[in-house]
Amino acid sequence: MAPETARQIEELDLKDGPLILCDVDEVALHFIAPFERHLLAHGFELVARSYGLNGNIVRQEDREPASREEVRELLLGFFDAETGNQQPVAGVAEALGELSQAAEVVMLTNIPERHRQLRSETLARHGMPYPVITNTGPKGPAARLLAERADGAVVFLDDSPSNIRSVGAFVDGASLVQFIADRRFFDLAGPIDGLSLKANDWPAARNFIVGRFGF
Ligand SMILES: [Mg+2]
């Protein structure tokens, strides 16, 4: 885990009890749709052949896949330009608002630390005034530190299979939810060992979490 991520977690004021660790991109805020527009504006296109970005972004001119470095630059360019403009997924603010009355909600997001403040403000503007922790790489180590701090049942929501596997490996007993707002990518996502729920809408995720915590 990056020292910056550990520092942010140490600063959190977390109550003991149930903890909801929620990803932002494609879970709380739409990511794929605005990222596709960003790609088109830069001569690239997203082709929904499999779940993930690498290999699925092609240069429009010759249909060749973008390199890993190009994907990285396109992503960073997107966050530089669009972090403040991303729109909420339907029902997320209502669901988290209700759940936050009985559980701690922490947004755990893989975005450069320099965008933390704007991401936090964007979420708050859309009714999600929860702490934002920025992470780099697989989320298991950060999730484990957060789980130790909260000392209660943990639900983790993310669209990324690698983050879900990582948290499954690091946090014993965590309930793992794969949430993908984009329907095409939801349909493409394959099975994940240990997954509790694969969801495409917030009412379903909310019902699962209520049942899991026994509210
Ligand atoms: Mg995400």
Look at residue 55 in the predicted model and tell me its pLDDT. Answer: 87
Find the 196 Cα to ligand 1 centroid distance in Å: 17
Find the 23 Cα to ligand 1 centroid distance in Å: 6
Average pLDDT, the chain: 96
Find the 109 Cα to ligand 1 centroid distance in Å: 7
pLDDT value at 79 more than 90: yes
Find the 211 Cα to ligand 1 centroid distance in Å: 24
Q: pLDDT tens-digit profile of 187-198?
A: 999 999 999 999
Which residues, including other chains, have CB under 8 Å from residue 143's CB and lie 6 or more apart? 21, 108, 154, 156, 166, 167, 170, 171, 174
Asked if 153 and 175 touch (Cβ cutoff 8 Å), the reply is yes
Q: pLDDT tens-digit profile of 34-70?
A: 999 999 999 999 998 888 888 899 999 999 999 999 9
Q: Domains of the chain by range and CATH? A: 3-30+88-213 (3.40.50.1000), 32-85 (no CATH)
pLDDT value at 138 more than 80: yes
Three-state DSSP state, 202? helix
Q: pLDDT tens-digit profile of 98-126?
A: 999 999 999 999 999 999 999 999 999 99
Look at residue 117 in the predicted model and tell me its pLDDT. Answer: 98
* CA 159 to each of CA 109, 154, 179, 188: distance values in angstroms, whole numbers, following the listed order: 11, 17, 5, 12
Parallel, antiparallel or unpaired: strands 154-158 and 44-46: unpaired
Asked if 14 and 104 touch (Cβ cutoff 8 Å), the reply is yes
Find the 173 Cα to ligand 1 centroid distance in Å: 22
Residue 125, H or E segment? helix 116-125
Look at residue 50 in the predicted model and tell me its pLDDT. Answer: 85
Asked if 12 and 120 touch (Cβ cutoff 8 Å), the reply is no
Find the 159 Cα to ligand 1 centroid distance in Å: 5
Count of all residues that appear for the chain in the document: 215
pTM attached to this predicted model? 0.96
Parallel, antiparallel or unpaired: strands 44-46 and 57-59: antiparallel
